[in-house]
Amino acid sequence: MEEIKHAPDTIDAYIAGFAPDIRERLQALRNVIKEAAPDATEKISYRMPTFELHGNLVHFAAFANHIGFYPTPSGIAAFQEELSVYQGAKGSVQFPLDQPLPLDLVRAIVRYRVAENIEQATKKKS
């Protein structure tokens, strides 16, 4: 895995900093997130690709042995059973590089987070 020499300022630049096989996985993850959250905006936050919709939606990042996915603690809790086969923490999950990305699961989690953020934003307005 190549080390990024400077902090990228776009998701394109972030993904471009990795080997072709990792770029392919990162782009597939990005595409699924964009499909599940078409109104979300992209940015780099905490040096990671980030999607925002009424606040942080999800982050992701590549590491030596896994792709980290960060759908907040609520996103992890809502899919605890499905995510139990992966290592993770309160707000993150690790998808090993030697296994296929669970893109359908990612899509479901992102849709859950979109609904959650929209609901919270609606409550704040009222």
70 is a domain residue: yes
- Contact status, residue 101 vs residue 28, Cβ threshold 8 Å: yes
Least confident of 1-5, 11-15, 29-33: 1-5
pLDDT at residue 4 above 50? no
Rounded mean pLDDT of 30-49? 97
Task: Give the chain's domain count.
Answer: 1
1 is a domain residue: no
User: pTM of this prediction?
Assistant: 0.92
CATH number at residue 42: 3.90.1150.200
pLDDT in tens, 60-99: 999 999 999 999 999 999 999 999 999 999 999 999 999 9
5 is a domain residue: no
19 is a domain residue: yes
30 is a domain residue: yes
Note down the domain range covering 75: 11-125
